[in-house]
Amino acid sequence: MLENYWHIACLLKDIRKKPKAITLFSKHIVVFLDDTGTPCAIEDRCAHRNMPLHCGKVIHGELQCPYHGWRYNSQGEVTHIPTAIKDSIKHKAKIPTYPCLEQDGYIWVCMSGQPTEKKPPLFKSLKQAGWTSFRMQTQFNSTVENCLENFLDVPHAAFIHKFWFRASDKKIVRAVVNELDDGAFAEYFSESRKNSLVFGFLSNRKTSLKHTDRFIAPSMSKVDYRFSDNRHYIISSFCSPQTDTITNVFTVITFKYGIFSPLIRCIFEPISRIIIKQDVKALAKQQANIDKFGEEKFTWIPQDILRPSIIRWRNSIKQGKTYKPSTEAKEIDLHI
Per-residue pLDDT in tens (0 to 9) along the chain, 336 residues: 899 999 999 999 999 999 999 999 999 999 999 999 999 999 999 999 999 999 999 999 999 999 999 999 999 999 999 988 666 666 678 999 999 999 999 999 999 999 999 999 999 888 888 899 999 999 999 999 999 999 999 989 888 988 766 666 678 999 999 999 999 999 999 877 666 666 666 777 778 889 999 999 999 999 999 988 888 999 999 999 999 999 999 999 999 988 888 888 998 899 899 999 999 999 999 999 999 999 999 999 999 999 999 999 999 999 999 999 999 999 999 987
Distance CA 34, CA 30 (A): 13
H or E stretch including 276? helix 261-293
Distance CA 71, CA 93 (A): 11
List strands edge to edge, sheet with 100-103.
7-11, 106-109, 100-103
* pTM attached to this predicted model: 0.94
What φ, ψ does residue 258 adopt, rounded to 5°? 80, -155
Q: Is 245 helix (H, G, I), strand (E, B) or coil?
A: coil
Write the DSSP assignment of 54-119 as a string of letters: GGSEEETTEEEPTTT--EE-TTSBEEE-TT-SSSGGGGT-B--EE-EEEETTEEEE-TTS--SSSS
CB 26 within 8 A of CB 18: no
Q: Is 200 helix (H, G, I), strand (E, B) or coil?
A: helix
Largest CA distance in the chain: 79
Distance CA 8, CA 16 (A): 16
- Look at the alpha carbons of 157, 158, 159, 165 in this order and tell me if their dihedral is positive or negative: positive
pLDDT of residue 308: 95
Give 3's contacts (C-beta < 8 A, 6+ positions apart): 25, 110, 111, 112
CA distances from 9 to 77, 184, 224, 239 (A): 22, 25, 25, 10
